[in-house]
Structure 1
Amino acid sequence: MSQPVSPYRNWYHPYTPDRKYARRAAYFSMEFGIDQGLKIYSGGLGFLAGSHLKSAFDLKQNMIGIGMLWKYGYYDQERQQDGTMASRLVEKRYDYLQDTGIELSVAINDNPDVRVRVWVLPPDVFQTVPLYLLSTDVPDNDHLSRTITDRLYDPNDETRISQSIVLGIGGAKLVGLLGGADCYHLNEGHALPAFYYLRDQGVPSSQMVFTTHTPEKGGNETRNGYHLNNRGFFGRRLPDPELRRELVGEELNYTVSALRHSKKANAVSKLHARVARQMWQPFGLDSRIVPITNAQHPGYWTDPALQKHFEKNQVKAFRKRKTQMKADLFREVMNQTGKRFDPEVLTVVWARRFAAYKRADLLLRDFERFRKLLTNPEKPIQIIWAGKPYPEDYGAINIFNRLIEVSWGFPNLSVLTGYEMELSRLLKEGSDIWLNTPRITREASGTSGMTAAMNGSLNLTVNDGWIPEFARHGENAFVLPEADPGQPHSVQDEVDSKNLYEILEKDVLPLYYEQPEKWMEMVFRAKEEVVPAFSSHRMADAYYRELYKA
């Protein structure tokens, strides 16, 4: 008996798309944070993309996702024998993904026939629009080709180039097989080859849009254009005069190229739009960039019981539920570190991707002042760090391990490993203060503080990314005075650390212990104001209105 043909070999949704979202949009991203168990994400970019697909489903948008099926995911964060960080690659299997039966090919280097198998995450599994996942782990491929989709953000440059070709060109070919799209949206520049392939297929720039996520150099890749040409990055070998028009010197800047191809592009906060326009104005590309601030999916990230008490204005019940959520987090602290935290004590959490500019160790800058903060019996405090450094970023790993070593000396400090979606949710539910300390203008958006606020945690933060659109110091958050971003890093760090200690000592701790009613007023105000303004429903709607429209 023949097997039924998968509906996912066509452009398919389990609903009739809403008329205002009728344009067919294909959304390309190197990572998607859909659920803890689907380990095809590393951090914030993936969390954002996952929330986008969930809201697209809720709003009945005519959108699909295009991503990669990573055999080993990003990495599993574990501990060495001495308790410091270790990374491990473990093969992942997902029984709920469906084989579409689609297999296509892309040309990479001298291999004109790298086979790409297409799997799909059906909408009913996690309530997302269909997410198509590409894999080169196909028996007909040679060994090197099979390993292209092994590891998200592989440290080998040649593999990273190949991954972009698979996602970009392979993804664009897949969309063509599904009937084509009205709009092709690249979430960051990883899938840039798609734009070159689509251009050669006659797709106009009016159907191409782009999201730029960071002013950091590492997030705006540049590679030698002649080498990329030899590798098959452009879908065909470009003649020298045509290639030179794409380059800055001898380099291809992925962001510059994506902006040149796009009808319109977006930055991920209002502040980031100003920074991005300034960055790309020398290339004449600033006018294409509009702000669409990142957001997260409240239905996924918000504790249902806490939300119910909030909607009924049940302050006592809200506090009781928050205490229970803290106790849940502290069981994980006990499990990992053997430390017994107290749900009645103010708990500060710093948790996100580890990168130097995010300054996870800012609190340690004046260690004696830090020690006094930790040992004050009248206004006790507990602090938790968590996050995943890039496994080859040894500077970030050293910071992570230093925090672990410092935590050994204090019963109220803890560093947790395994920072993925479930631990992220647990930390947001169990924190009282969500600490955010990037150097100002370096955080394009940030979204972890949004979901913390959805769970009754107050942001203590620099005034960067999405924060200027939300926070009012002493009303719904605690905001550090702005350090001058033109000053040397050491000066910025000194200013910010002093202000951080000052706000903790004089604002946060006294309010929590001496004015609990006012504390709860701030918590309720923050929770009320974070949704709908920073719900991914608003964001997904804005993409259709501002980027996908004809």
Structure 2
Amino acid sequence: MLTREDIFNYTPDLKYTTSVAYFSMEFAIDQALKIYSGGLGFLAGSHFRSAYQLKQNLLGIGILWKYGYYDQSRDKEGLMTPSFVQKDYFFLEDTCIVFTVPVHDTPVYVKAYLLKPDTFGSAPLFLLSTDIPENDEISRTITHRLYDPNEATRIAQSIILGIGGAMLLDLLKMEPDVYHMNEGHSVSLNFYLYAKFRNLEEVKKRVVFTTHTPEMAGNEEHSYRLLKEMSFFYHLQEHEVKYILGMEGDNFSYTLAALKFSGKANGVSKLHGEVAKEMWGGNPGICEITSITNAQNGAYWKDQEIARAILDRNDQVIVDRKKGLKKILFKTVADQCGKLFDENVITIVWSRRFAGYKRADLVMYDWNRFLNLIGNTQFPVQFIWAGKPYPEDLGANSLFNEILTRVRPFANCAVLTGYELGLSALLKKGSDVWLNNPKMYREASGTSGMTAAMNGCINLSLPDGWVPEFAKDKENCFLISAATDRQSDAAIDAAENKSLLDTLEQVVIPMYYEHHADWLTILKKAAANVEPAFESGRMADEYYLKMYRR
């Protein structure tokens, strides 16, 4: 059996001796380990890098996804299409631990793999797989695809993560002081804990919860009947669950149950904390909801040369290095799109998890004005889009390909595929403007702009998520004004498109070309303001102070 010394290669700092097990459906630790889809995973990855750097007593529980999320390919017409390719990871340690978890009243065999801390410089991470010979074909598919579209499979995934992860810790004789649910996917672990302690208050003493989205699609619900059939409640009956949690109705809400099982919960920005309280605060029996603003790991994300130049306030080195980083990004543009971008031209990037409310096409809302913008020869611009829509989200996939089709004729517009850690880093280092224009109050945090600012890229954003805690318009970023008339989506889109284009045409682009000293002042101010406030060392420490303290 593995010992603590086998799992950790460091002794926890005395500040962080409280032991924590961190449950998450996705972790973006390294480009080579493709077990993530977007921001939830990027956040967990940065948290684990900083936990390692701070020597925190924290380990992770996740899933080893055989096919990852998916790979972005192109069809014969050059349009984006999802493909599923088996992933092999020889850098993971096979612990030889195999145990069973009840799923649909049937024992499913689970094998545990370990990502050791020194592999990629992260806190240790256990990854669970059902794709082993002991299982039948259906059971093997549980851990094939992150966020599988089949409802029963998705429920089974949550059971493996929550109940399976808690069972693994008991097998290792590593009962943590704190169980941290990073989003509600692992909420089933609480039913396992309830079976151990037979008392809700005893569970609440040990469990904390981070909610990551105000989007209802991200706050999962399923029928009590189906969950009971799937063994989601472990040994409890449906009526017992409703009685213990004070939850009625036909559907079981993961988020609401997590709030009732936890001693404390947090949103991922100050604004999101308030939105979460408004969404869930009317329900009796929920825990306190505070906020800990997301952050990203500077050591992982920063280009060290431009970081030193910004710190030294060496403007010429900043300019030269930025052009060098743009050239590196533009090789990918040329390779994928056959378009040669110019490092002397302002480059605007929209890149993040691809979902409808994030409005990747907002800049095109007034098409004729967009054409004038990209056709301006006095102040030329270059646009790049990238992101991964959920493979079964037909609307988001259609929008991705619509943007690709509309801008294909233009030599200064590119849509890139393969949005993972590697491409994300290229885009942040090789862009001048990081565009973020979600529908207001629907972006819980939106951390990509943090790492952009670390790399000499200036944010152009609506004041949602983390941005209000950071933004000083025309001092460390450029702000898009939120629509005052919020009666219809069309009115909002029209007003915010106008503000976006006004800001680009009248402020951002002229400053880049005619007042570059002012541009560099904003760039340096942004880098100075983003760290340490939005660096994940602060965040990892804050979780210990606010959430893990017994």
- Match of 1:27, SS? strand
Of residues 166, 176, 181, the one that matches 1:172 is 166
- What residue is the counterpart of 1:128 in the other structure? 122
**TM-aligned CA distance change 1:485 to 1:296, over 3 Å:** farther
| 1:40 equivalent in structure 2 | 35
Equivalent-residue separation in structure 2 for 1:120 and 1:382 (angstroms): 43
Alignment of 1:236-275 (within 5 A): 236-238=235-237, 240-243=239-242, 246=245, 247-275=247-275
Q: Residue in 1 aligned with 2:222?
A: 223
One-letter amino acid of the structure 2 residue matched with residue 87 of structure 1: P
**1:143 aligned to which of 125, 137, 142:** 137
**Deviation sequence 1:50-98 (CA, Å, 0-9, x none):** 1101100000000001000000100000101001111110000011100
Question: What do residues 459-498 of structure 1 show as CA deviations (whole Å, max 9, x unaligned)?
Answer: 0000000000001110000111122484221111111000
Match of 1:31 among 26, 32, 57: 26
Change (3 A) 1:87 1:485: farther
Give the direction of change, closer, same or farther, for the CA distance of 1:34–1:158 in structure 2 (3 Å limit): same
Computed over aligned residues only, the root mean square deviation of the Cα atoms, in angstroms, reads 1.3
Q: 1:470 to 1:286 in 2, by over 3 A?
A: farther
Map residues 506-521 of structure 1 onto 2, 5 A cutoff. Answer: 506-521=506-521
> Where in structure 2 are the equivalents of 1:46-57 lying within 5 Å?
46-57=41-52
Contact 1:230 1:237 in 2 (8 A): no
Task: Work out the CA distance in 1 between the residues paired with 2:96 and 2:303.
Answer: 38
Residue 93 of structure 2 is matched in structure 1 by 98
Contact 2:337 2:414 in 1 (8 A): yes
Quote the residue 1:64 is aligned against. Answer: 59
Q: For residue 31 of structure 2, what is the amino acid of its counterpart?
A: Q
Q: Deviations over 1:488-520 (max 9, x none)?
A: 211111110000010000000111001000000
Q: CA deviation at 1:395?
A: 0.5
Is contact 1:267–1:273 with CA below 8 Å preserved after alignment? yes
The reply to whether residue 13 of structure 1 matches residue 8 of structure 2 is: yes
Q: Does 1:296 align with 2:296?
A: yes
Question: Are the equivalent residues in 1 in contact too, given 2:64–2:143 (CA < 8 A)?
Answer: yes
Counterpart amino acid of 1:530? Answer: V
Amino acid at match of 1:118: A
Question: Which residue, 153, 173, 181 being the options, matches 1:159?
Answer: 153
CA pair 34-241 structure 1, distance change in 2 beyond 3 A: closer
Alignment partner, residue 390 of structure 1: 390
- Could you tell me the TM-score, scaled by structure 2's length? 0.97
Equivalent position amino acid for 2:219 in 1:
N
CA offsets 1:326-363 (integer angstroms, 9 cap, x no match): 00000100000000100000000000111110000001
1:195 aligns with 2:190: yes
Deviation at 1:375, TM superposition (A): 0.6
Q: Does the 8 A contact of 1:212 with 1:267 survive in 2?
A: yes
Do 1:278 and 1:286's aligned partners in 2 also have CA atoms closer than 8 Å?
Answer: no
Contact 1:441 1:485 in 2 (8 A): no
- How far does residue 451 in structure 1 lie from its aligned partner after superposition? 0.3
Query: Match for residue 74 of structure 2?
Result: 79
Q: What is the match of residue 314 of structure 2?
A: 314
Which amino acid letter does the alignment assign opposite residue 471 of structure 1?
A
Report percent identity of matched pairs.
Answer: 50
Q: Quick one: distance in 2 between partners of 1:286 and 1:244?
A: 14
| Residue 277, structure 1, aligned to residue 272, structure 2 | no
- The letter of the residue matching 1:158 is A
Which structure 1 residue ranges, 5 or more long, are not aligned?
Answer: none
Cα displacement string for residues 118-151 of structure 1 (whole angstroms, at most 9, x for unaligned residues): 0000111101111000000111111111110001
Contact 1:277 1:286 in 2 (8 A): no
**Preserved contact between residue 72 and residue 91 of structure 1 (Cα < 8 Å):** yes
Q: Deviation at 1:204?
A: 2.9
Q: 1:193-240 CA distances to partner (integer Å, 9 max, x unpaired)?
A: 011111221153111000000000111011101210111001114152
2:299, 2:113 → 1: CA distance? 26
For residues 498 and 373 of structure 1, the distance between their equivalents in structure 2, rounded to whole angstroms, comes to 13
**More moved, 341-350 vs 10-19:** 10-19
Q: CA deviation at 1:407?
A: 1.4
Q: Which moved more, 1:278-287 or 1:537-546?
A: 278-287
- When normalised by structure 1's length, the TM-score is 0.97
Distance change (3 Å), C-alpha of 1:166 and 1:201: same
Matches within 5 A, 1:399-438: 399-438=399-438
Provide the rounded CA distance (Å) in 1 between the counterparts of 2:408 and 2:84.
27
CA distance in 2 between counterparts of 1:332 and 1:244 reads 56
Deviation at 1:175, TM superposition (A): 1.5
Instruction: Please give the secondary structure, in 2, of the residue aligned with 1:283.
Output: coil
Rounded to whole Å, the distance in 2 between the matches of 1:436 and 1:382 is: 16
Q: How does 1:453-468 map to 2 (within 5 A)?
A: 453-468=453-468
SS of the equivalent of 1:293 reads: coil
- Structure 1 window deviating more from structure 2 (336-345 vs 231-240): it is 231-240
* Offset from partner CA, 1:12-56 (integer Å, 9 cap, x none): 421111111000000000000001110001111000001101100
Secondary structure of the residue that 2:225 maps to in structure 1? helix
Q: Which residue of 1 aligns with 2:212?
A: 213
2:265–2:287 CA contact under 8 A, matched in 1: no
Shift of the 92–240 alpha-carbon distance from structure 1 to 2, 3 Å rule, reads same
Tell me how far apart the structure 2 counterparts of residues 143 and 63 of structure 1 sit (CA, whole Å): 34
Pairs aligned (count)? 544
Pick closer, same or farther for the CA change 1:106–1:536 going to 2, 3 Å.
same
Deviation at 1:188, TM superposition (A): 0.2
After TM superposition, list the pairs within 5 Å mapping 1:332-351 onto structure 2: 332-351=332-351
Partner Cα separation in structure 2 for residue 485 and residue 358 of structure 1: 19
Displacement of 1:244 in angstroms is 5.3
1:546 alignment partner, SS class: helix
